[in-house]
Amino acid sequence: MEKIGIEAIKREDTCTCTGIGSVELMQEPQITEEQAVGIAEVFKALGDPTRVKMIYYLQQRELCVHDLATLLEMGQSAVSHQLRYLRDLHIVKRRKVGKTVFYSLDDEHIEQIFVQTLGHLQHM
């Protein structure tokens, strides 16, 4: 992942762009790789049409796997795999009642991010 190449060295020697050394002026707290990966992980979880629909529906009400599959017009297995993915990220949680497993949103922050973004996108 990390790469130190000819390109990096060449880069240092040549361009100063504005001539004011804009990179050096970048003094605000730099973002770390871990932070960037963590932020990207959350956005990535919301970055798929199937998961967008899932979260959209679950934001309205708790739903079992079967009903989600019906709403999404998808196979049970595919839905279950996606729910597993979202559960690993603590975005959804399970509630088991007999044979049935009900899913709901597990993170208020994610929910707010989702709803706020929906609001933003309506004005675009």
Partner DNA sequence: CTTATATATGAGCATTTACTCATATATTCA
Partner DNA sequence: TGAATATATGAGTAAATGCTCATATATAAG
Q: Which amino acid is at 72?
A: L
Q: Which stretch binds DNA (CB under 7 A): 27-35, 41-49, 104-112, 114-122?
A: 41-49
CB of 98 to DNA, least distance (A): 3
Among 36, 37, 81, 115, binds DNA (CB under 7 A): 81
Nearest approach in angstroms of CB 17 to DNA is: 6
The contact mask relative to a second copy for 86-115 (x = CB under 8 A, - = no) is --------------x-x----x-xx-xx--
Q: Which two tokens stand for residue 29?
A: 């707290």
Q: What does the alpha-carbon distance between residue 71 and residue 52 come to, in Å, rounded to a whole number?
A: 13
Cα 111 to Cα 38: distance, rounded to the nearest angstrom: 17
The strand pair at 63-64 and 92-97 is best described as unpaired
Amino acid at 27: Q
Residue with token string 């729910």? 83
Residue of the chain from 9, 33, 86, 92 that contacts a second copy (CB under 8 A):
33
Whole-number Cα distances in Å, 100 to 7, 68, 74, 103: 56, 12, 18, 10
Name the site residues for a second copy (rule: CB under 8 A). Answer: 2-3, 5, 7-8, 11-12, 15, 17-18, 22-23, 25-26, 28, 30-31, 33, 36-53, 56-57, 60-61, 63-64, 66-67, 69-71, 73-76, 100, 102, 107, 109-110, 112-113, 116-118, 120-121, 123-124
